[in-house]
Copies of this chain bind each other. A is one copy, B any other.
Amino acid sequence: MACDLCNLLEAPAEGVIIWGDELLVVINVDEPEYPGYTRVVWREHVREMTDLTAAQRQHVMAVVWAVEDAQRAVMAPHKINLASFGNMTPHVHWHVIPRYTDDAHFPQPTWAPVQRAADPAVLAARRALLPALHEAMIERLQGIA
């Protein structure tokens, strides 16, 4: 299969999927500079948000807000970044990224050139929050229809 996200959903590696229902999955992104980086991925290979029905879009965004809310509660980032591009992988997915003033790209988006090396000790402390983060996400996501 040509689509990276279809491939990932076909055979997800252990521990990658934090939560899922019949329509989408919430994925822990292993991005060393960005502990807590999460993707919300629609299961079906659909190109644009406006290719989904209104109810489906609402479901995707309810999951994005639950992820954002859990990131804020557990990781207290300076800012949340949200994005859905799909230029290389045109399969609906959202990036939900906790950002800090001392992270590698701040105040630029994470797709911009690197601004600095993030402190490894700071990253390790953030990484230590991941079990609590995933628990907080699951707690919020269980309440979603």
Residue numbers of A with Cβ under 8 A of B are: 47-50, 54, 57-58, 61, 65, 68-69, 72, 78-88, 90, 99, 106-109, 111-113
Q: Is there an interface contact between A79 and B85, defined as CB atoms closer than 8 Å?
A: yes
Q: Closest Cβ of chain B: how far from A65's Cβ, in Å?
A: 6
* Pick from B47, B84, B88, B112: contact of A107, CB under 8 Å: B88
Q: Is there an interface contact between B109 and A87, defined as CB atoms closer than 8 Å?
A: yes
Choose among A58, A85, A86 the residue with the greatest number of B CB atoms under 10 Å from its CB.
Answer: A85
Q: Is there an interface contact between B86 and A83, defined as CB atoms closer than 8 Å?
A: no
Residues of B within 8 A of A88 (CB): 107
Other A-B pairs beyond A48-B72, A81-B87, 6, CB < 8 Å? A47-B79, A49-B68, A58-B61, A78-B87, A85-B109, A88-B107
Q: Is there an interface contact between B68 and A61, defined as CB atoms closer than 8 Å?
A: no
